[in-house]
Amino acid sequence: MAEPLGLGAEGIAAAVASGALAAVEVVNAALARAAEIEPRVSAFLRLDPDGARRRAEELDRRRQRGEPIGRLAGVPVALKDNLALEGDALTCGSRILAGYVSPFTATAVERLLSAGAIPIGRTNLDEFAMGSSCESSAAGPTRNPWDLGRVPGGSSGGSAAAVAAGCVPLALGSDTGGSVRQPAAFCGVVGLKPTYGRISRYGLVAFASSLDQIGPIAASCRDVALALESIAGADPRDSTAAALGPPDLLTGIEDGIAGRRVGVIAEIGTAGLEPDLLAVWHAALDRLAALGAEIVEVSVPSIAAAIDVYYVIANCEASANLARFDGVRYGRRASGARGLADVYFDSRSEGFGPEVKRRIMLGTFALSAGYYDAYYGRARALLEQLRAELARAFERVDLLATPTAPSGAFALGEKLDDPLAMYLSDVFTVPANLAGLPAIAVPAGLDRRGLPLSLQLLARPFDEGGLLRAARALEVATGWRLSPELRDASATV
């Protein structure tokens, strides 16, 4: 990543604060890099060069006047296009929201702006954040900067790709079942899903309200920590936001993990992983042990059902949340419809893509009379069992470790016609969402194709500090350097 973007968020903010760099200089570098990679990667749905430069110029003037400019001063950021920003289009990667402009700003985005960060554009995503490959967007797919013939993961694929390609040092995504961590894994960057309630969900377009969380994606654990410190905290506009102040995460982040107990779940089934991933998994555990952690096996029997529980609960909540996009209250209205029923049917048929329709239908079926207890009721019971088992596991250990995904980045189109295979991409990530736990994806090595592989760590609720210390220790020990090659699709093995 070329200077000044190679300084990372922490380095850029320090340089802008000292006057060594102008915010306009940094923003121009980010916009130039985005323009360079966009024809190939398609990380962004749209860029906002005028708005970004205007914010940067004002920040430079404030610094010159000696006014406070924030701890993310001048840092270019990318925003997933399901986060509201007043006066800006908001599409969620869907035709049904074409032409919609948000009248308000999400709390997390407000806090980024208050900290001096400068949004340069909106990133692509699976439609309404429903997907694991960033291929279901109405705008078309995003490509993985490491290999343009492969997916970047989803649903926050555009945000992860923008960081991996060196356009921005920091991006925001959302994570309902792994949508920050899995694309971070595929793109060789760090992605954090905080504890449920750590970050306000106000202004995040809802997919599954009991599972959704906003999370930062960056090239390093230190930048993720800085971002989380800047956007976390209580919010009276979101009743699910915890009544806690912003956490202090950078203090002690270099303290390592000597003496901490890391649990390996007996039931996660790593034996079936492809050889490259299995080798990186064992190497990561060995590295943690060499850093002074104690590796302990724990049992969480219900984790085998986590993926099934997730896809019942998430789809049921999606069915309810997306009912508002009907061509009357929200969303584009189909032309030529005769009568209210036709408005609903035609607007939703034209506006939603195949994956969103599939999930709405699955959720509606599971909630329907005669099936509610068999599907949703049973899923809720298994969810409570899983939460209790994870709580017992955390009585024995400080952290849990799993692979982040069951494979590296797969080829574009490889799983589009096999929804079950696509859903299984989330098999390791969904437990953290179901239990509301913080979890992080941190690069752990490369496969034989030179593509990144990742380790996931989970911690007790609101222990993002311990989580980041462990991830940072692994990051330093691995010696990870972000270096995607932007290989053409023809080079895909």
What residues act catalytically?
80, 155, 179
Q: Which residues contact 374 (CB under 8 A, 6 or more apart)?
A: none
Hey, what are 263's tokens?
Answer: 């649990």
CA distances from 470 to 50, 259, 288, 433 (A): 40, 11, 8, 20
Q: C-alpha 451: how far from its chain's center?
A: 19
Distance CA 139, CA 122 (A): 12
| Residue written as token pair 């894994």 | 185
Of the candidates 459, 475, 453, 466, the one whose C-alpha atom is nearest the C-alpha of residue 288 is 475
For residues 457 and 442, give the distance between their C-alpha atoms in angstroms, rounded to a whole number: 8
Determine contact, residues 263/400, Cβ cutoff 8 Å.
yes
Q: Rounded CA gap, 78 and 173, in Å?
A: 9
DSSP string of 335-358? TT--SHHHHHHHHHHHHS-HHHHH
The token pair at 33 is: 């890099």
Classify residue 67 by burial, with Cβ atoms within 10 Å: 0-12, 13-18, 19+. exposed
Residues 179 and 102: beta-carbon distance below 8 Å: no
Strands 76-80 and 170-175 come out as: parallel
Which one-letter amino acid corresponds to residue 19? G
Give the pairing of strands 190-193 and 439-446: antiparallel
Cα separation of 310 and 321, whole Å? 16
d(CA 35, CA 32): 5
Write the burial class of residue 245 (CB in 10 Å: 0-12 exposed, 13-18 middle, 19+ buried): exposed
Q: Which residues pair with 191 in a beta bridge?
A: 217, 441
